[in-house]
Homo-oligomer: A and B are copies of this chain.
């Protein structure tokens, strides 16, 4: 079993972030090269998760740039959610031209991912959902999502497609809302290279237990990618990993490690108000500590305690590791 935690991050900590109130940005942010340089300087992070299209004209260029920075590409995310044309949905859009555009964007991302050497593409259908009752035509929507994903899955079986669920934001309700619903969908597509992204914070906000979801997804052979962040189980606040959920993160790492997950852990946070580098250092610390605790639990062979339902004995072990 691999003992290393492969940590990556997106570039949000070094970007100009805005929201619906501070539309002109919480800070200035940096240019692409500076962002990569700053990320590469963070000890403990070796990969980067990027969106496509990026500021590079092709995947080969991107690959070179990342190599220059000593960073690995952890995933390439098909951007079907930052442009206004996708505001009423991508794969489920009522307009066939927009559905087509979403599919094209995803295919381009696959091409670029191949060139850039990405292990997969990430696909989040952020605007596919509904804000109002009687707004979604659920039959059409699910048909289009399924058709689009099936066509995408045919495009290039060599590049894994990892679909990321989320229950809300930017829509009040998103179609691909949670792990169970997505696994049902992915099983229906039924291609070995189509899997899921388990975003720790999305999972919490969908009232799930992320560790249970990891097990569930791995039993189905569908866990492709992991995102790390945190929240108060109410919303995708994209806070620093381990800043709220401590035992949840340890349990998550325990099961991922136990069941042999060997992919990236991509930090996916939105630090509107804090220094990006310092935030990532804290994220790295919290992740490494949680990982070490999880490893220690494996070494201690708590498997039998788990089998016997002796959660109180595991609680004792966990709190014993808090040392003043």
Chain A residues in contact with chain B, CB under 8 A? 17-27, 81-84, 87-88, 94, 126, 130-140, 142, 167-170, 172-173, 175, 177-184, 187-188, 206-209, 211-212, 215-216, 219-220, 231-235, 237, 239-240, 242-244, 246-248, 250-251, 254-255, 259, 270, 272-275, 278-279, 281-282, 285-286, 289, 292-293, 295-296, 302, 306-309, 311-312, 314-316, 318-319, 321-324
20 pairs of residues in contact across A and B, judged by CB atoms under 8 Å: A18-B20, A22-B170, A94-B308, A133-B243, A134-B247, A134-B251, A138-B211, A139-B215, A139-B259, A180-B184, A181-B181, A206-B207, A244-B248, A279-B312, A281-B312, A293-B324, A295-B324, A321-B323, A321-B324, A323-B323
A319 to B286, Cβ gap below 8 A?
Answer: yes
B88 to A273, Cβ gap below 8 A?
Answer: yes
Sorted from nearest, which 5 A-B pairs have the closest CB atoms? A180-B181, A180-B180, A138-B215, A135-B311, A246-B246
Q: Which of B82, B94, B181, B208 contacts A21 (CB 8 A)?
A: B82
Chain B: CB-nearest residue to A302: B134
B247 to A133, Cβ gap below 8 A?
Answer: yes
* Sample of 6 further A-B pairs with CB below 8 A, known A134-B315, A274-B312, A296-B324: A19-B20, A133-B248, A172-B232, A179-B181, A187-B188, A246-B246
Complex formed: what's the CA distance from A21 to B18 in Å?
Answer: 8
Q: Given A178-B180, A315-B240, are A306 and B134 neighbors across the interface (CB < 8 Å)?
A: yes
Q: Which of B22, B130, B132, B255 contacts A82 (CB 8 A)?
A: B22
Q: Which of B24, B94, B138 contacts A255 (CB 8 A)?
A: B138
Chain B: CB-nearest residue to A272: B87
Complex formed: what's the CA distance from A209 to B135 in Å?
Answer: 12
B243 to A247, Cβ gap below 8 A?
Answer: yes
Q: Which of B234, B243, B293 contacts A168 (CB 8 A)?
A: B234
Determine the chain B residues whose CB is within 8 A of the CB of A231 once the complex forms: 172
- Whole-angstrom distance from the CB of A164 to the nearest CB of chain B? 13
Determine the chain B residues whose CB is within 8 A of the CB of A138 once the complex forms: 211-212, 215-216, 255
A19 to B19, Cβ gap below 8 A?
Answer: yes
Chain B: CB-nearest residue to A139: B215
Q: Given A138-B255, A215-B139, are A84 and B27 neighbors across the interface (CB < 8 Å)?
A: yes
